[in-house]
Amino acid sequence: MFFIPIDRKTSRGCLCLCLLFCISMLHADPRQLKNPSAPHWLNAVGKLDVPSQSNQAGHTEHYIEHCSATLIAAMPNRSANTIITAWHCLENYLDLSRDISFTLFHGENNTTRLSARPLSSGGNLDLDWAILRLNKPIPNSLVKAMIVNRGDVIKSGQTTMTMAGYSADSGLGKGGEVLTYHAGCESGEEIGQQFSSNCLAYKGASGGPVVISRYRDNKFHYNLAGIISQGNGLGYTTFVPNKAFIAALLRLIGSTKR
C-alpha cells in the first residue's frame, strides 16, 4: 500500500467531489423514458383522467385524478376495448355524467383518446384494481394490447419485472407528461393481497402495468402480471398481482365481441 501526498486544499476538493459523486449515485434515476427502441408493449400504456370530487369543509371540490392504465386483450392480434387501472383512481368518481378519458400515445406523434366506463373493481385499497370498458375498440393494427396470462405468478423476492406509468415527478416524469418505465426491478415481500418491490414510481403511475417477460419460440413475450398501487418515489412501490383480478378480467374480456 502507498499514499500520494496531497495538501489540505486538494484534500478538501477531492472530498467534495466524492460527496457529490456519492449523492448523485444515491439519487440516480433507474427509470427510462419511452423511446423508439423501448419495448413495444409500452404503446398499450396510457394516461387515465378521472373527473373526481370530494367534500372539503362542507363544499364540493371538483378535480381530475391523473393515473395510468393499460389496454389489454386475452390473446394476441385482437382488437381491444378493455383497460385496467387501480381502484383508488376511481374512488372519488361520483358524477357519472362526466366521462373518464383514456389517452394512448403511439407510433410517431399519434394520439388516440377514448372515453371509458367502470365495469368491475376490487373495491378497496388492498385489492387495488379496476377494469373499464372503452366506448369503442382499438384495432390491433393501431395499438397491440397487452396480454394477460394466468400462468404468470409473482413470487416473493424471486420475480424480475418492469413497471411503467405516467409518474408526476418534476424530474424524468415531467409532471406526468411522459411515460417512464423501470426495467429489471424485483418483487419483495407479500403484504396482504399485494407485493412490495424496489421499483421506482411516483403519484400518477398508479394503475400502470407490472410486466414479466418470457423467452420462448426464439422471442420475448411480455405479459401483464400486476397493477401498480402506490409508490413513494424512493424505490418502494406496492402492486396487486394478477391472481387478484385475472378471473374477473378474463370473464369480461371473454364476453367482448370481436
- What would the mean pLDDT of 76-81 be, rounded to a whole number? 91
Q: DSSP label at 176? A: G
Cβ distance 200 to 235 under 8 Å? Answer: yes
Q: What is the pLDDT of residues 187-224, one digit of tens each?
A: 999 999 999 999 999 999 999 999 998 767 777 778 89
As a whole number of angstroms, the longest Cα–Cα distance in the chain is 77
- What would the mean pLDDT of 57-81 be, rounded to a whole number? 92
- What would the mean pLDDT of 110-135 be, rounded to a whole number? 97
Specify the higher pLDDT residue, 256 or 199: 199
Residues contacting residue 258 through CB under 8 Å, at least 6 positions apart: 78, 79, 137
Quick one: CA torsion of 110, 108, 77, 45, rounded to 10 degrees? Answer: -70
Burial class (CB in 10 A: 0-12, 13-18, 19+), 27: exposed
Q: What is the pLDDT of residues 4-61, one digit of tens each?
A: 344 444 444 444 434 333 333 345 899 999 998 899 999 999 999 999 999 888 888 9
d(CA 111, CA 206): 21
Judge whether residue 135 has pLDDT over 80.
yes
pLDDT at 213: 84
pLDDT at 76: 85
Q: What is the pLDDT of residues 140-161, one digit of tens each?
A: 999 999 988 776 677 777 789 9
Quick one: CA torsion of 163, 164, 165, 167, rounded to 10 degrees? Answer: 70
d(CA 228, CA 188): 14
Q: DSSP label at 174? A: G
pLDDT at 14: 44
pLDDT at 136: 96
Cβ distance 132 to 83 under 8 Å? Answer: yes
Cβ distance 209 to 239 under 8 Å? Answer: no
Judge whether residue 130 has pLDDT over 90.
yes
Q: What is the DSSP string of 206-220?
A: TT-EEEEEEEETTEE
- What would the mean pLDDT of 59-86 be, rounded to a whole number? 94
pLDDT at 156: 77
Model confidence band, residue 121 (pLDDT cutoffs 50, 70, 90): very high
pLDDT at 91: 96
Exposure string of 216-242, with b = 16+ CB inside 10 Å and e = fewer, is eeeeeebbbbbbbbbbebeeebbbbbb
Q: What is the pLDDT of residues 229-244, one digit of tens each?
A: 998 889 999 999 999 9
Neighbours of 71 (CB within 10 A): 27
Domains (ranges, CATH) in the chain? 40-254 (2.40.10.120)
- What would the mean pLDDT of 102-129 be, rounded to a whole number? 94
Q: Is 88 helix (H, G, I), strand (E, B) or coil?
A: helix
Containing 121, the helix (H) or strand (E) segment is strand 110-121
Q: DSSP label at 230? A: E
pLDDT at 152: 62
Residues contacting residue 200 through CB under 8 Å, at least 6 positions apart: 29, 30, 31, 163, 182, 185, 231, 233, 234, 235, 237
Judge whether residue 3 has pLDDT over 50.
no
Q: What is the pLDDT of residues 82-109, one digit of tens each?
A: 999 999 999 999 999 999 999 999 877 8
Write down the pTM of the prediction. Answer: 0.85
